[in-house]
Amino acid sequence: MTTLLLVRHGESMANKNHMFIGQTDSPLSELGIAQAERNAEYIVNNYDVHRVYASDLKRAFATGKAIADRLGLEVIPEKDLREIHVGIWEMTSFKENYNNGVQFFLDWESNLGRVVCPEGESIEYLQKRASEALIRIAEENEGKTVVVAVHATLIRAVQCLFEGKTLDQMNEVPWVPNASITTLGYENGRMYVISGGRSDHLGDLERDAIPKDELLEMKK
């Protein structure tokens, strides 16, 4: 069996400031750096990692590099592992869009699997490019354990697919917290989910995927 450890990046500055970003290159916040280091320590102490891959966006690449540096490995950048491109909504405020009743954001919350970002990508396209990249990585590392540092919407999209759910069922798949680990197995040509969004290793650095008090405040 090949094991893929999908690590969501640590908190980014955009996360901290409640900005909606896809492929905009936002660096890690101070908390995000600490989360990446705590996550790296846990992975190195508990897994025999052979390679580290990452989205080439700063927040994911830095999260992967924290792990790779401890192992003396290079991070292999993968453009197909970038977050979804959200087009005209890149770097917009969650609160502003909720307050303005933007239909795209209402759909993002209630029917995510069918979202198509204006001048950007659809969830369906994200799922296809990301799943193909992950299967390729698994096949290139047969029988090994590899880390793949990526993004929240990407993880949710591929988890939906690998759990056998349709895009219409994507809202049944929960968001994963920053610096969490989603474990996938690959064998006999099949990818499947072993565990999703584990973050207990972060201890006092753990944060909710979508803090409920902050979300309520955005919708006021």
By the 8 A CB rule, do 86 and 22 touch?
yes
pLDDT of residue 92: 87
Of 47, 50, 59, nearest in space to 14 by CA: 59
Burial class (CB in 10 A: 0-12, 13-18, 19+), 119: exposed
**pTM: predicted TM-score of the whole model, two decimal places:** 0.93
Q: Residue 22: how many CB atoms within 10 A of its CB?
A: 22
Give residue 101's pLDDT.
Answer: 58
Residue written as token pair 């192992």? 71
Regions of the chain where pLDDT drops below 50? 212-213, 215-216, 218-220
Look at residue 212 in the predicted model and tell me its pLDDT: 45
Tell me the domains of the chain and their CATH numbers: 2-218 (3.40.50.1240)
**β-sheet bridge partners, residue 184:** 4, 193
pLDDT in tens, 93-142: 877 776 665 677 777 778 899 999 889 999 999 999 999 999 999 999 99
Whole-number Å distance between alpha carbons of 178 and 187: 28
Q: CA–CA separation, 23 vs 26, rounded Å?
A: 9
Give the end-to-end CA distance of the chain in Å, rounded to a whole number: 48
Torsion-angle region of 202 (φ positive above 0: left; ψ -120 to 50: alpha; else: beta): alpha
